[in-house]
Amino acid sequence: MSVIELASGHAMPLLGLGTWQLRGDECTRVVQMALEMGYRHLDTAYNYKNQVEVARGLQASGIERGEVFVTTKIWPDALQYEQVHRQFAECVEQLATDYVDLLLVHWPNEAVPLAETLKAFDEIAASGRARSIGVSNFSPALIDEAREVASAPIVNNQIELHVGNVDTALLEHCRAHKVAVTAYRPLAKGDAADDAVLAAIGERYGKSAAQVALRWLVQQGIVAIPKASSQGHLRANMDIFDWALDAEQMQRLG
Ligand SMILES: NC(=O)c1ccc[n+]([C@@H]2O[C@H](COP(=O)([O-])OP(=O)(O)OC[C@H]3O[C@@H](n4cnc5c(N)ncnc54)[C@H](OP(=O)(O)O)[C@@H]3O)[C@@H](O)[C@H]2O)c1
């Protein structure tokens, strides 16, 4: 699995499994299947209400915890100092782990000072229970504020990003400050699979429109976390690393 290096020095796999809306036994089964297939990165959140099932899938796969990059997120109604600590403790308990690889602020909440939230994040990072910390759905101005008040590096901004939905200024800002970008909804909730331009490009490589959409992201060093629930989709989404789009195609899609 291809990885990028985060500003914290840790490696993050460029492809992960998004788990939003995966619940119950289906979640456990899909996580297990993905890990057995070679996925090494799981994206969950307190708010997804599936961390117990994600942990069950990991355990059922027999793959060592240390082999898998696990991201979770603190919901915006719990960004007060004490609340962060409380919700994070619940996350690691539900995930049946001592640590997460990446802890994110799920969405900003202007009612809570970022300094207060990130003080708790810093403490969690310093204790080793989060290997890296970051944010999600943050603007350039909020990223600057987070970088200013946090002691640990803000290594990641998880944002909605897919072909046809690109915020170039935000991407450039992240790049300039070594904030890796994770693209959520990288398949536009599945709509990318029906995109005629992506399909036409894919035909030349024997790949699907969805695979082109994901390749376009990872080829830019952007982490992609497609959610998939069938074996076919999981496998297709992994098959994006041994071929490349040409410069003209990359530019056309961007
Ligand atoms: N930080 C945030 O605020 C935030 C917000 C939203 C999402 N996220 C994260 O991002 C992840 C992904 O986003 P998302 O779930 O909204 O949307 P997505 O990954 O863009 O799309 C998921 C949809 O695409 C379909 N699909 C997957 N692989 C496919 C393929 N190869 N060909 C055709 N269709 C395919 C899936 O169908 P099947 O299920 O039938 O396979 C599902 O319906 C989430 O699961 C979550 O982890 C984060």
Catalytic residues: 48
Q: Is 226 in the pocket of ligand 1 (CB under 6 A)?
A: yes
Q: How confident is the model at residue 111 (pLDDT cuts 50, 70, 90)?
A: very high
> What residue's CA is closest to ligand 1, atom 15?
227
Calpha distance 75→47 (Å, rounded): 6
Q: Is 18 in the pocket of ligand 1 (CB under 6 A)?
A: yes
In Å, what is the CA distance from 162 to each residue of 81, 129, 167, 226, 253?
33, 31, 10, 11, 9
Report the separation in Å between the CA atom of 188 and the middle of ligand 1, taken as the mean of its atom positions. Answer: 7
Convert the pLDDT of each residue in 152-183 to its tens digit.
999 999 999 999 999 999 999 999 999 999 99
**91-103 mean pLDDT:** 98
Q: Is 15 in the pocket of ligand 1 (CB under 6 A)?
A: no
Domain spans, the chain: 3-253
Enter the CATH code of domain 3-253.
Answer: 3.20.20.100
**146-154 mean pLDDT:** 98
Report the separation in Å between the CA atom of 20 and the middle of ligand 1, taken as the mean of its atom positions. Answer: 8
Quote the pTM value: 0.98
Kindly tell me if the per-residue pLDDT of 245 is higher than 90. Answer: yes
Nearest to 94 by CA among 127, 49, 126: 49
Q: Is 41 in the pocket of ligand 1 (CB under 6 A)?
A: no
What is the position in ligand 1's atom list of the atom closest to the CA of 22?
A: 45
Report the separation in Å between the CA atom of 149 and the middle of ligand 1, taken as the mean of its atom positions. Answer: 32
Strand runs labelled E in 118-153? 130-136
